[in-house]
Amino acid sequence: MKNTKKIAIILNIILKIAMVIGIGILLGLWEILKLLNIKFDLLVFLIYPAGILFLGLVTRFIKLFNQLKIENPFNHNTVKYLKQAMIISTSISLIIFIALLLAIFMYPSYTLTLKISLTFFTILFIGVGIALYLLSELFRQATEYKEENDLTI
Amino acid sequence: MAIIVNLDVMMAKRKISSQELAEKVGITQANLSILKTNKGKAIRFSTLNKICEILNCKPGDILDYEKEEEND
C-alpha cells in the first residue's frame, strides 16, 4: 500500500509537470506555428479544443491519483472522476476523428504519416474511453458493495 | 427499504438504554443508531440473536415489513 501511494505521488508530480508544459504549449502554439512556418488552417485550429480537453483529462487523472492517497478510494468521487475522464477521452477521439476526416477530404496535401498518426490517436483515445468506462463501472459496483458491507451491523 | 426496524419500541418496553443495549450486544452506539434509524443495509444473524436474547423477544417483534409504494 505504501508503494502504491509512492507511485501515486510520483505520477501526480509528473502529471502536474505535463499540465504546466501543456498549458505553455497551448498558449505559445501560435508562435510555435509561426516559427515552424506552418499555415494556420482548420486542422491546426482543432489542436486547441483537443488540447484543452487533454488538459481536462490530465486534471481528472491528478484527482484520481489524489483519491489513491486517501484511505478508501472506493467512493463516489472516484467513480465521478472516472466517468468525467471517460467522457473527455471520447470527446478527444471525436475531435481527432474530425481532424482525420478534414486531413483526408479537405487537406489532401498533408502527409500520410500525419493521417496514420491521427487514426492511431483516434483509436487510442476510444480505447482509453472504453477502459475508463469499464473501470468506472467496476468502481461503482465496488463502492456499492463496500457501502453495503459497512452498513451491515 | 421495505424492512422497518422497530428497535425503539422494544427498548422502551424493556426500559433499556441505547448505551446498555450496545454494550450487551457488543456493537458500537453508532451502529445501533444506524439500526434504529433504518439506515442499515443488513443485519447479521449473530447480532439479531443477541438483541433478541437481551430484549427477550422474537425477530418479528423488532423487524417489520411494509410494502414500498411504486412510483410510476
Average pLDDT for runs of 10 along chain B of length 72: 86 91 92 90 91 93 83 53
CATH architecture of residue range(s) B3-55? Orthogonal Bundle (1.10)
What average pLDDT score do residues A126-152 get?
Answer: 92
Locate the domains of chain B by residue range: 3-55
- Encoded amino acid at A69, one letter: K
Going by C-alpha positions, the residue among B13, B41, B44, B19 that lies closest to residue B32 is: B19
0.90 surpassed by pTM? no
User: Which of A147, A148, A153 is nearest residue B27 as measured by Cβ atoms?
Assistant: A153
The answer, yes or no, to whether residue A145 has pLDDT greater than 60, is yes
User: What pLDDT score does B71 carry?
Assistant: 57
User: Dihedral of CA A103/A46/A116/A84: which sign?
Assistant: negative
User: What pLDDT score does A67 carry?
Assistant: 83
Is A153 in contact with B31 (Cβ distance < 8 A)? yes
What average pLDDT score do residues A15-40 get?
Answer: 86
Locate the domains of chain A by residue range: 2-150
User: What pLDDT score does A1 carry?
Assistant: 60
From residue A14, give the alpha-carbon distance in Å to each of A46, A70, A124.
26, 19, 21
Is A151 in contact with B34 (Cβ distance < 8 A)? yes
User: What pLDDT score does A47 carry?
Assistant: 86
User: What pLDDT score does B11 carry?
Assistant: 92
B25 to chain A: closest CA residue: A153
Per-residue pLDDT tens over the stretch A101-122: 988 888 887 888 888 999 999 9
User: CB within 8 A of A127, min separation 6: which ones?
Assistant: none
CA dihedral A99, A127, A77, A10 (to 10 degrees): -90
DSSP track, B7-71: HHHHHHHHT--HHHHHHHHT--HHHHHHHHTT--SB--HHHHHHHHHHHT--HHHHEEE-PPPP-
User: What pLDDT score does A147 carry?
Assistant: 86
Per-residue pLDDT tens over the stretch B47-63: 999 999 999 999 999 99
User: CB within 8 A of B62, min separation 6: which ones?
Assistant: B5, B6, B7, B9, B10, B51, B52, B55
Q: 133-152 in A: which are within 8 Å (CB) of B?
A: 147-148, 151-152
A32 or A126, which is more confident:
A126
Closest-CA distance, B69 to chain A, in angstroms, reads 23
User: What pLDDT score does A73 carry?
Assistant: 83
